[in-house]
Amino acid sequence: MRCWRFRSRFLALERTDDLARERTNIGDGGFEEPVVEQRLDSPEHARYQELLGAAAVDALTDDERLSLARHLATCQSCREELAALRAAAQAFPLALEDREPPPIVRFRIQAAIQHELDQQKSTELRPMPPQLHPVAAAPTPIRRRGLPRLVPWAAAAIFLVAALGLLAWNLSLRNETTTPTSQAIALQATQANNGAQGILTYLPDQHIFVLSFDRLPALPANRVYQVWLIHGKSPVPSGVFGVGTSDFAISGNRSDFQTLAITVEPGPLGSAAPTSSPILAASL
Amino acid sequence: MVDQSDGELLSAIVRRDPAALVALYDRYARLSFALAYRILDQAPLAEEVVQDAFMSVWQRADSFDQARGGNVRAWLLTIVHNRALDVRRRMFGKRLPPVDLDEVDYLVSSPDPSAEVLRNLDRDRVRAAVAELPLEQRQAIELAYFDGLTHIEIAERTAAPLGTVKSRLRLGLQKLYAMLAFSEQIPGAGADR
């Protein structure tokens, strides 16, 4: 068990169970300040030790966290233990089994990086792409406090597609030599159509459907447009987007589905199955 | 770029080399997505989190202090973890912790001696160690780590006294640390790789 540690001949030290760190300045030059470390046999210390597991996985309440932080300032034993428990907690996710994300994630990241690099290079030469709304997959925009940094994923992906030269860059990154191909598919208004019109393009090499809209009609509050890829009688929910969207990309293999349809669904996440008739549909 | 270490890739990312970021993605996308999906249980949201995390690495690579020997993989997973829990808390309308996410990511990038011991862990070894944990300890850690619950919420969820939950979290993590830091072999893990 660790003893009191002090480095000065003169101590002004109260023997209480108080955890406050005490400093005594004695004149100048020569004398070091005494450092009072936490007594390891105190009940206070034991109570804080009990919190270290929860602290390592951020499972404390705000008050407990602050209180523990004050204790840690005076207790090296707890600091060391917390560091070890945190390291173990950080190793925990390594036990998960791998899960393959859809290819479009890689594509979007590449597109966003290239978009950023291009913007940095030529903001004078090239006009900004039209303001596009990000994919509304989350209930509220995911903003970090202080530094809003939304990446316009839909915009970035379509920006890449629109400039075929960049698409070639994307392909060369993956060491492919095929030239980019695309297939236009007729997107037709159905009986329930509300005025929405658009163009559907399929990229067979990337298995990506790109929807482009000119002006999407306004929707009632709390409603979104939702895309479905339909196999036989089973519609697969394939993403939602809002009124301001010009372009929207989804991943899917054309040969797996017979139809693509767009409905209006309750927002912000849409529905598990369509609750209304399609407003636009395409035969694949 | 497949032969380069995480540190080398990160240095290339700092130099704005897109291929390096993509190489890092190819290396850790499946693990990152597994973590985001485990926390969020929804593929579209998990995809956004993974995208945001890699873009954060792209934008903040220079803030990761490699000179002090930090663990790139752990840093990336911490970013994914924080963002996924942030989304999850917003989904459930919970109060958010009073920290700036980006600050937390940066702080974690600073290594300390305990973390050094657990660098470059083999995943099979971690799996074997986690499997060795008593079920209640493992469950408590999972509820905190993947579901973002406080220990009070864990106590409610598992109908256990709060003191027991605190103890399970601490003992479980102590045991996990000891197995990973000190054991040459973990029962059931096979030959140490």
Cis peptide before A268 (omega within 30 of 0): yes
Please say whether the beta carbons of B47 and A102 come within 8 A: yes
> Could you give the percent of chain A with pLDDT greater than 90?
26
Angle, alpha carbons A97-B47-A182 (nearest 5°): 115
Residue A122 near residue A174, CB atoms below 8 Å:
no
Question: B54 vs A95: CB contact, 8 Å cut-off?
Answer: no
pLDDT at residue B115 is higher than 50: yes
Measure the CA–CA gap between B160 and B151, rounded to whole angstroms.
Answer: 10
- Residue pairs between chains A and B whose CB atoms are closer than 8 Å: 203
Amino acid at A222: N
Higher pLDDT, A268 or A176: A268
Q: Tell if the CB–CB gap between A102 and B170 is shorter than 8 Å.
A: no
Nearest to B18 among A83, A113, A239 (CB): A113
Asked if B78 and B105 touch (Cβ cutoff 8 Å), the reply is: yes
Tokens of A151: 């990446």
Using CB atoms, which residue from B102, B112, B165 is nearest to A83?
B112
Q: Which of A56, A80, A146 sits opposite B100 (nearest CB)?
A: A146
Lowest-confidence range among A19-28, A94-103, A186-195?
A19-28
Q: Given 3-state DSSP classes, what are the helix, strand and coil percentages for chain B, each rounded to the nearest 5?
A: 70, 0, 30
Distance from the B159 Cα atom to the nearest Cα atom in chain A, whole angstroms: 17
d(CA B33, CA B40): 10
Query: What would the pLDDT profile of A96-136 be if each residue is shown by its tens digit?
Result: 999 999 999 999 999 999 888 888 877 645 454 544 434 43
How far, in Å, CA of A227 to CA of A251, rounded? 11
Residue A249 pairs in a beta bridge with A210
State whether residue B14 sits within 8 Å of chain A by CB: no
Q: Chain B residue closest to A270 (CA)?
A: B44
Contact A50 B170 (CB under 8 A): yes
CA A44, A45, A49 angle in degrees (round to 5)?
120
Tell if the CB–CB gap between A105 and B51 is shorter than 8 Å: yes
- Which residue in chain B has the smallest CA separation from A154? B48
pLDDT above 70 for B66: no
Chain B contact present for A110, CB below 8 A:
yes
Eight-class DSSP state of A252: -
Q: Are A96 and B34 in contact (CB under 8 A)?
A: yes
Residue A227 and residue A211 in contact, taking contact as beta carbons nearer than 8 Å: yes
For chain B, say whether A95 makes contact (Cβ under 8 Å). Answer: yes
The shortest C-alpha distance from B180 to chain A (Å) reads 8
pLDDT for A132 equals 41
In the predicted model, what is the mean pLDDT of residues B88-116?
61
Residue B190: CB atoms within 10 A of its CB come to: 10
Mean pLDDT, residues B141-154 taken together: 96
Give me the sheet containing A223-231, strands edge to edge: A188-189, A280-283, A259-266, A223-231, A234-241
Q: Give dist(CA A137, CA A267) in Å, integer.
A: 10
Q: Min CA distance, B11 vs chain A (Å)?
A: 16
pLDDT one-digit tens code per residue, B18-52: 999 999 999 999 999 999 999 999 999 999 999 99
**Mean pLDDT, rounded, for A169-179:** 41
Query: Smallest CA–CA separation between B91 and chain A, in Å?
Result: 7
Interface contact B79, partner A, CB < 8 A:
no
Task: Let me know: does B108 contact B75? Beta carbons within 8 Å.
Answer: yes
Element (H, E) at A243: none
Q: How many CB atoms lie within 10 A of CB A128?
A: 7
| Choice between B90 and B115, residue whose per-residue pLDDT is larger | B90
- Percentage of the residues of chain B whose pLDDT score is greater than 90: 64
Q: Which residues of A touch B58 (CB under 8 A)?
A: 113, 116
In chain A, residues 168-227 whose CB comes closer than 8 Å to chain B: 173
Distance CA B193, CA B180 (A): 13
Placement of tokens 């074997």 in the chain:
B128
| Mean pLDDT (chain B, rounded) | 85
Residue A238 parent element (H or E): strand A234-241
Distance from the B153 Cα atom to the nearest Cα atom in chain A, whole angstroms: 9
pLDDT at A88 over 60: yes
Angle between helices A62-72 and A43-56 in degrees, nearest 10: 120
**Tokens describing residue B112:** 């300390």
Chain B's closest residue to A142, CA to CA, is B87
A217: number of CA atoms within 13 Å, CB side? 11
- Contact flag A144-B90 (C-beta cutoff 8 Å): no
Query: Which amino acid is located at B156 in the chain?
Result: E
3-state secondary structure of A183: strand
A51 touches chain B (CB under 8 A): yes
Most confidently modeled range among A231-235, A250-254, B122-126: B122-126
pLDDT tops 80 at residue A187:
yes
Query: Of the candidates A157, A171, A164, which has an alpha carbon nearest to the alpha carbon of residue A104?
Result: A157
d(Cα A40, Cα A104) in Å, to the nearest integer?
54
Residue B15 at interface with chain A, using a CB cutoff of 8 Å: no
Q: What is the ipTM of this complex?
A: 0.87
Q: Is the pLDDT of residue B150 over 90?
A: yes
